Amino acid sequence: MMALEAQTKVLVGDFAGAREHFRRTADMVAVLHVEEMRDMIRMVDAYEAHQLGRAEFRDLLAAAFAAPRARQFYDAFDTNPPFGATMCALALEHGVEVEFARRIIEVHGLAAPENAGSAWPWPVRIRTFGDFELSRASEALAVQGKKQKKPLDLVKALIASGGHRVDKVRLADFLWPEAEPDAAAAALDMAISRLRKMLALPNAVRIEDGKIGLDPAQVWVDAWAFDRDVEALQQTVRSSTPRSDDEVATLGQRLLSTYRGAFLEREEPQRWMLAARDRWRSRFLRSVADAGRYWEQRDRWSQASELYERGIEVDTLAEDLYRKLMHCHLAQGAPAQAGRVYRRCREMLSIQLGITPSPETEALFQSIYKA
Give the model's pLDDT for residue 13: 77
Instruction: Express as a percent the part of the chain with pLDDT over 90.
Output: 67
Q: Is 323 exposed, middle or buried (0-12, 13-18, 19+ CB in 10 A)?
A: buried
Say whether pLDDT at 150 is over 60.
yes
Q: Which residues lie closer than 8 Å to 2 by C-beta, 6 or more apart?
A: 21, 24, 25, 28
Q: Is 134 helix (H, G, I), strand (E, B) or coil?
A: strand
- The answer, yes or no, to whether residue 54 has pLDDT greater than 60, is yes
The CATH superfamily assigned to 222-370 is: Tetratricopeptide repeat domain (1.25.40.10)
pLDDT tens per residue, range 83-137: 899 999 999 999 999 999 999 999 998 989 887 888 999 999 999 999 999 998 7
The percent of residues above 70 in pLDDT, for the chain, comes to: 93
Q: Are 68 and 108 in contact (CB under 8 A)?
A: no
Q: Which residues pair with 166 in a beta bridge?
A: 212
All residues at 6 or more sequence positions from 312 whose CB lies less than 8 Å from its CB, including other chains = 318, 321, 322, 325
**In the chain, where are the structural domains located?**
2-108, 124-220, 222-370
Domain 124-220, classified CATH 3.40.1160.10, yes or no: no
| Separation of alpha carbons 65 and 39, rounded Å | 8
Laid out side by side, the sheet with 139-140 consists of 139-140, 133-136, 124-127, 219-221
Contact 122, 224 (CB under 8 A): no
Q: How many CA atoms lie within 13 A of 15 on its CB side?
A: 12
- Cα 65 to Cα 73: distance, rounded to the nearest angstrom: 10
Question: pTM of the full predicted structure?
Answer: 0.85
- What is the C-alpha R_g of the chain? 25
pLDDT in tens, 58-90: 999 999 999 999 989 888 787 788 889 999 999
Task: Identify whether the C-beta of residue 325 lies closer than 8 Å to the C-beta of residue 288.
Answer: no
pLDDT of residue 291: 95
- CA dist 292 and 67 (Å) reads 41
Distances (CA, A) of 126 to 197, 216, 254, 309: 16, 11, 16, 27
Concatenating the DSSP letter of every residue in 215-259 gives -TTTEEEHHHHHHHHHHHHHHHHT--STTHHHHHHHHHHHHHHH-
Distance CA 300, CA 25 (A): 49
Which one, of 2, 93, 86, lies nearest residue 48 by Cα? 86
Termini Cα distance of the chain: 73
CB 262 within 8 A of CB 277: yes
